[in-house]
A = this chain, B = another copy of it.
């Protein structure tokens, strides 16, 4: 601990972590507390420039209790998942010394120091965009940096896993596998990077954030109910997923887009099939999700080979992965034809993230949207337009894993340790 004479110091670290989207899905736990899954899963990490959590963690002898703020609002840390992550990280802290500031913290002191945590998502938290994955990854990563934890990224992923299963995959950039592992204590249920984001950098991702009025089943309770009641889920986990994992690793290694896309689509659909096979049934996709799938399926069939993959998590939002930039501009044109913005929506807030794609697609004004021709593959049977069914689109790409940011980016005040 600090030498006792000065208790005013605050030690802090700020880090940024990405979200990820599974292309071979995680659905079902074999251990609810340790969050051990019933099958391996594979994800792509999304560019933190567009979708990430930033977290500042601080310790100080003057902090009276652990406290956390999410997007500026204090939230409870009482939950078992926060407690598990904090306990696991604290127990792995090592000696830290900053002679200049007069700070000296011994290994065993970390458990006595209270933490302040401030977290901020650069995207809507409630939109169903894996905010808990980015959030727990960032919490674990930043506290680990703060407490001088020496464990490697894989070991950190096993801690993040105990906050939110899919958070473990956000400890790496690019393509990531979460190995289910065998150990009952979860030591081998960790994330493994399959390839960096640079390995396959042509891919472009467009997310359709779908308007929804229905309250959704949380993924935690949903997957518990599926494990308890779906006769199909165990068959999926034991017989279907292992083969798909091997095939998906191969597709990623070879940058084989047709195989990658086919596997991602069928696996997303099978996950939602298992939700429907749950009692009572869980519906995450809605009519808009179905229309987006039909649009992509029809296009892929017309081209004779997949142009775009789709995948849906526990909500109606579509994550669309285009094989390259040119395909992504065509995709955007089709999407804007089917799903133009509602009349009161401004085009510049209707596509966020990498907005440069709008210009590449030749769309600069609402007039350009209105002038879009029907996609050629539906020319005999032009569907109705569905203004307002999509809230907005995000254009992004694959991205890096967690990084430490400079102190200027801190969300906590350096003197008070309270949110700025």
Contacts and interface: CB of A to CB of B under 8 A. Distances in A.
Interface in A219-244: 229, 231-232, 235-236, 239-240
Contacts of A274: 273
Nearest to A269: B281
Interface stretch (A103-111, A189-197, A282-290): A282-290
Contacts of A278: 269
A290 to B, nearest CB: 5
**Most chain-B Cβ atoms within 10 A of its Cβ — which of A213, A229, A276?**
A276
Max chain B Cβ within 10 angstroms of own Cβ: one of A235, A240, A301: A235
Nearest to A297: B280
A114 interface: no
Contacts of A293: 280-281, 283
A281 B293 CA distance: 8
A270 B277 contact: yes
Contacts of A239: 231, 235
A266 interface: yes
A384 interface: yes
Nearest to A291: B214
A287 B229 CA distance: 23
A279 interface: yes
Residue among A235, A262, A273 with the highest chain B CB neighbour number at 10 A: A273
Contact of A269 (B240, B277, B290, B297): B277
A195 to B, nearest CB: 26
Contacts of A213: 384
Contacts of A270: 231-232, 276-277
A273 B232 contact: yes
Interface string A229-261: 101100110011000000000000000000000
Copies in the complex: 2
Contact of A283 (B232, B280, B281, B290): B290
Size category of the A interface is 20 to 34
B279 A269 contact: yes
A3 B261 CA distance: 70
Nearest to A277: B273
A290 B236 CA distance: 24
Most chain B CB atoms below 10 A, which of A266, A269, A283: A269
Nearest to A298: B280
A116 interface: no
A250 to B, nearest CB: 18
**Residue among A278, A280, A301 with most chain B CB within 10 A:** A280
A265 interface: yes
Contacts of A287: 286-287
A272 interface: yes
A260 B384 CA distance: 40
A254 to B, nearest CB: 21
18 contacts: A215-B381, A231-B236, A231-B239, A231-B240, A231-B270, A232-B232, A232-B270, A262-B279, A265-B279, A266-B279, A269-B278, A269-B281, A270-B277, A276-B276, A280-B293, A280-B301, A286-B287, A287-B287
Given A232-B235, A232-B277, A273-B277, 17 more contacts: A213-B384, A215-B381, A229-B266, A231-B239, A232-B232, A232-B236, A232-B270, A232-B273, A235-B235, A269-B276, A269-B279, A269-B281, A273-B276, A280-B297, A281-B293, A286-B287, A286-B290
